[in-house]
């Protein structure tokens, strides 16, 4: 069965560029982003891992750890880091999982079950579904799932934006509208009455009977 939002993120033990990890223990009490790429030493993936390295500080500000994964061996990850630095200017300091036996990729629906049992001889095309993103909360539940095609590099600023929304709406009874950015007005959820909304938010604008907007809560 496919993973869905609010499922518990499957736990696993894996070898990484920073040693062996137990995933749930590695996440600890914070948030995590697990993101995969099809193959080392390929152009789109090189730009993606560099972009993520450049944003690592922004994720850290939000209490979010980041970890990458592909079916390449850990040794290959280590050699690739120099190319990523050359192409993007950023050092990859977050861990990268080497999933040579495809167990984690299959566990997270990044590859079909019939994809074989080893990364040996695989090409980027064989790994076409492995450009996935999972945002996982402190409760170890999946909060967001994204999968991109081979030819489309991801917008990691959008992932930060989504995390801002997820963290805000987990704390307050609000939702965020299309294209919302940090600091902009939010939507009051239907579970909050008008009277309670005044108590909680001070004031709000009624755009439609079912669409009420207010300033982003700061507390």
Catalytic residues: 45
Q: Rounded distance, CA 91 to CA 103, Å?
A: 27
- Helix, strand or coil, per DSSP, at residue 46: helix
- 97 DSSP β-pair partners: 16, 69
For Cα atoms 63, 155, 165, give the angle at the middle one, nearest 5 degrees.
Answer: 45
Q: Helices 43-61 and 74-88: crossing angle, nearest 10°?
A: 90
Rounded Cα gap, residues 96 and 78, in angstroms: 9
Sign of the C-alpha dihedral computed for residues 198, 203, 206 and 212 taken in this order:
negative
Would you tell me how many other CB atoms lie within 10 Å of the CB of residue 97? 25
CB contact at 8 A, 164 and 174? no
Could you tell me the CA-to-CA distances from 32 to 38, 55, 81, 102, 174 in Å, in that order? 20, 14, 21, 21, 22
Contact 188, 204 (CB under 8 A): yes
């Amino acid at each position: 069965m496919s993973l869905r939002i609010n499922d518990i993120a499957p736990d696993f033990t894996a070898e990484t560029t920073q040693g062996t990890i137990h995933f749930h223990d590695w996440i600890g009490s914070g948030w995590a982003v697990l993101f995969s790429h099809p193959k080392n030493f390929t152009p789109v993936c090189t730009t993606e891992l560099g972009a993520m390295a450049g944003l690592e500080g922004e994720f850290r500000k939000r209490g979010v750890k980041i970890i990458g994964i592909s079916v390449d061996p850990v040794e290959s990850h280590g050699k690739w880091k120099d190319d990523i630095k050359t192409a993007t200017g950023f050092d990859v300091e977050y861990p990268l999982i080497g999933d040579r036996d495809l167990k984690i990729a299959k566990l997270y629906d990044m590859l079909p079950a019939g994809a074989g049992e080893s990364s040996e001889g695989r090409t980027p095309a064989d790994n076409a579904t492995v450009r996935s993103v999972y945002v996982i909360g402190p409760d170890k539940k999946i909060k967001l799932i994204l999968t991109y095609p081979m030819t489309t590099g991801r917008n990691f600023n959008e992932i930060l934006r989504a995390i801002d929304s997820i963290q805000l709406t987990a704390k307050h009874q609000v939702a965020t509208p299309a294209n919302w950015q940090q600091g902009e007005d939010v939507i009051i959820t239907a579970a909050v009455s008008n009277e309670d909304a005044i108590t909680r938010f001070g004031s709000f604008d009624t755009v439609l009977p079912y669409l009420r907007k207010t300033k982003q809560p700061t507390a």
